[in-house]
Amino acid sequence: MSTAIAILENPAESTRSDAEQLGAEITELCSYIYAAESRLLSLIHEFDEKEYWAQLGLCSCAHWLNFKCGIGMGAAREKVRVAHALAELPKISEEFARGALSYSKVRAMTRIADEKNEDYLLMIAEHGTAHHVEKLVSKYRTAKRLQDPEIAKEQYNNREVTHYYDHDGCLVIKARLPAEQGGIDRQGPGNGRWSGPCPRKYQHRRYRGNVRTHRRPPCRRSRRDRRNLHEQQ
């Protein structure tokens, strides 16, 4: 009777305790799910290594997962990739097996993880969210890709600047340039100039220094702009 009276007198505390209890149960269940996911990936790795999926005449382990387990092809390929990557990452595999890491974090880390950065990625995963891990991995992969000389050469060869006149007579310019060549010095409204070399596809006859540039024609005001200007005056 006294407990019921206490609950009626303090409904907020009762709600908070219920929320904490439900939250603890959810997180505990998630840990079991993560551990089961780790075991699943371990089995998938073994299944793929022994190529048991070929007994049904299928093309790959991902196709077998799609056929037998109802997993979409994209998700199935990711599970196979992660399963093989975890075989080379004992520390991440151990944390995943005991339910301390979610599959989302593990999937992201295995894109860049190796024996050199495994501890660092585990530290990020422990103190950050899955979004933090995915963002870090994305930035890391971008930086590594930009350091590749072949990528830099491809960016240079794919330079392009196109232009056209819009319906109101303004000149619209679209450019695809490497970052170090595509800077624009802004000297004032409508007075920008290219600071990098201009691609061959940019066909204009006026020059500023060694850079081909353009003379921007004045924009014709639309009827609505002229009417608004007249009303303001």
At 16 the pLDDT is: 74
Q: What percent of the chain has pLDDT over 90?
A: 51
DSSP 181-230: T--EEE-STT-EEE-SPPPTT----EEETTEEE--PPPPPPPHHHHHHHH
Identify which of 5, 7, 2 has the alpha carbon closest to the alpha carbon of residue 18. Answer: 7
Note the Cα 40 to chain centre separation in Å: 26
Most confident of 85-94, 190-199, 217-226: 85-94
At 175 the pLDDT is: 82
For residue 1, count CB atoms less than 10 angstroms from its CB and return exposed for 0-12, middle for 13-18, buried for 19 or more. Answer: exposed
Split at pLDDT 50, 70, 90, the class of 182 is low
Split at pLDDT 50, 70, 90, the class of 36 is very high
At 229 the pLDDT is: 55
Split at pLDDT 50, 70, 90, the class of 215 is very low
DSSP 4-47: HHHHHH-HHHHHHHHHHHHHHHHHHHHHHHHHHHHHHHHHHHHH
Which pTM was predicted? 0.63
Q: What average pLDDT does the segment 101-117 reach?
A: 94
Mean pLDDT is lowest, of 68-72, 114-118, 121-125, 196-200, for: 196-200
Q: What average pLDDT does the segment 147-161 reach?
A: 80
More confident residue, 208 or 153: 153
At 88 the pLDDT is: 94
Provide the residue type at 28 as one letter.
Answer: E
Sign of CA dihedral 103, 109, 112, 115: negative
Q: Is the pLDDT of residue 161 over 50?
A: yes
What average pLDDT is seen over the chain? 79
Q: At what angle do helices 11-49 and 90-97 cross, to 10 degrees?
A: 130
Split at pLDDT 50, 70, 90, the class of 151 is confident
At 122 the pLDDT is: 95
Q: What average pLDDT does the segment 33-41 reach?
A: 97
CA–CA distance from 24 to each of 31, 85, 110, 122, 167 (Å)?
11, 31, 28, 23, 61
Residue 29 backbone dihedrals phi, psi, to 5 degrees: -65, -40
Mean pLDDT is lowest, of 8-17, 94-103, 118-127, for: 8-17
Contact yes or no for 214/198 (Cβ under 8 A)? no
The count of C-alpha atoms lying within 13 angstroms of the C-alpha of 225, restricted to the half-sphere facing its C-beta, is 5
